[in-house]
């Protein structure tokens, strides 16, 4: 796949159909990956012709780029601090960040699969967009981490590694929880309870990582 990706925006009355195509494409790419995804299956699932699909999206790569851009937007929003949290204690903000990202992943397993399986296919243009969108926040987070470290509240911590650790823990929890749930005794198969325990475990792990450096 080339590294050139152009996003097309059409002002036309068929935007709902375009949204249906994007949703079907997201499921197709998440299940089968970029190489295994099939345009015919996407068109058939939505009930459109190839002509209409290609009216909205020039080719398979363009469709993939559009899907991935939407997922990147959702992912970045999940690691940005919610509004109105400026006056919270540092650790409270970290807990909110972990919880917000975890909940988003739990509610959107397709995103987790795409992030795990398909980021290697991400064109450079999308990487640049992603870096710009959350680069400023990473710098603010790094300054906050440095202040907390100077005050002796946490160990020196790299902001980007912290975000990667949080997201990795949450993504893996979302991907493996359904399988684990099937192995649990019947009385233990409440997925929401399993998810809540895993979220609490992730928060404790990050607290330990920040305060003691113990992994």
> pTM score, two decimals?
0.68
Give the DSSP letter string of 112-144: HHHHHHHGGG--HHHHHHHHHHHHHHHHHHHHH
Rounded Cα distance between 131 and 80, Å, is 13
**What CATH number belongs to 70-211?**
1.10.357.10
Question: Are 82 and 96 in contact, with CB atoms under 8 Å apart?
Answer: yes
Nearest to 107 by CA among 74, 63, 65: 74
> Selecting from 3.40.1390.10, 3.30.300.30, 1.10.10.60, 3.40.50.460, what CATH number does the domain 15-57 have?
1.10.10.60
Highest mean pLDDT out of 4-13, 30-39, 111-120, 186-195: 30-39
- The answer to whether the beta carbons of residues 32 and 38 sit under 8 Å apart is yes
**Higher pLDDT, residue 65 or 84:** 65
Give yes or no for a contact between 178 and 210, defined as CB atoms under 8 angstroms apart. Answer: no
Q: What pLDDT is recorded for position 111?
A: 66
Q: Is the pLDDT of residue 110 over 90?
A: no
Considering the chain, tell me which residue range(s) the CATH 1.10.10.60 domain(s) occupy.
15-57
26-67 pLDDT, tens per residue?
Answer: 888 878 878 888 999 999 999 988 888 888 888 888 888 888
């Amino acid at each position: 796949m080339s590294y050139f990706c152009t996003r097309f925006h059409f002002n036309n009355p068929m935007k709902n159909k375009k949204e249906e195509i994007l949703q079907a494409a997201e499921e197709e790419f998440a299940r089968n990956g970029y190489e295994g995804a099939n345009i015919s299956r996407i068109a058939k699932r939505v009930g459109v012709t190839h002509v209409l699909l290609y009216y909205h999206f020039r080719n398979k790569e363009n469709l993939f780029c559009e899907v991935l851009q939407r997922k990147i937007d959702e992912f970045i929003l999940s690691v940005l601090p919610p509004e109105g949290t400026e006056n919270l204690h540092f650790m409270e903000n970290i807990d909110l960040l972990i919880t917000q990202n975890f909940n988003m992943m739990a509610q959107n397993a397709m995103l987790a699969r795409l992030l795990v399986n398909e980021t290697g296919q991400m064109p450079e243009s999308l990487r640049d967009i992603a870096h710009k969108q959350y680069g400023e926040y990473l710098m603010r987070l790094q300054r906050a981490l440095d202040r907390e470290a100077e005050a002796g509240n946490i160990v020196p911590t790299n902001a980007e590694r912290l975000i990667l650790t949080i997201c990795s823990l949450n993504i893996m929890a979302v991907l493996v929880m359904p399988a684990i749930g099937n192995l649990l005794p019947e009385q233990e198969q409440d997925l929401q309870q399993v998810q809540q325990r895993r979220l609490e475990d992730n928060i404790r792990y990050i607290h330990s990582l920040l305060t003691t450096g113990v992994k």
